[in-house]
Amino acid sequence: MRKVKITYEVCRYDELSEEAKLKATNDEIKNTLEHGYDEMTTNQKRAVDEAEKMLTPWFAGEYMWEYAKDEIEDLCRMNDYLEDGSYFWQGECGQYETEEVQGA
């Protein structure tokens, strides 16, 4: 048996590039839509309702960004991300150690 140590550089939402933030917010919107209407906030429901009313459910994500941008960004700020904006799930990494790097 051998042990392999893997190091991830993990970012908070506000540290991401604009392109990575776009991926993170799009993923968060998709995640919100997949969790179902009952789990949504009032603004998120309003976005889905508007898309349905306009007979364009495929635009629900865009309406969600328009009506609930601050909520989506707040949700994003609760997560860690890889540099490209992908979610970082610590649970998939097994045992891990963290080290805060200031000014990186």
**Secondary structure (3-state) at 44:** helix
Whether residue 81 lies inside any domain: the answer is: yes
Domain assignment present for 58: yes
Question: 16 is written with which tokens?
Answer: 């991401």
Percentage helix, strand, coil, to 5, in the chain? Answer: 55, 5, 40
Instruction: Report the alpha-carbon distance of residue 47 to residue 41 in Å, rounded.
Output: 10
Encode pLDDT of 14-73 as tens digits: 999 999 999 999 999 999 999 999 999 999 999 999 999 999 999 999 999 999 999 999
Q: Which two tokens stand for residue 77?
A: 């700020």
Question: What integer pLDDT is reported at residue 93 of this predicted model?
Answer: 56
Average pLDDT over residues 79-99: 76
- Considering the domain boundaries, does residue 87 fall inside one? yes
| 5 is a domain residue | no
Residue 39 included in any domain: yes
Residue ranges making up the domain that contains 73: 11-93
Give pTM, 2 decimals: 0.79
Task: Evaluate whether residue 2 is within a structural domain.
Answer: no
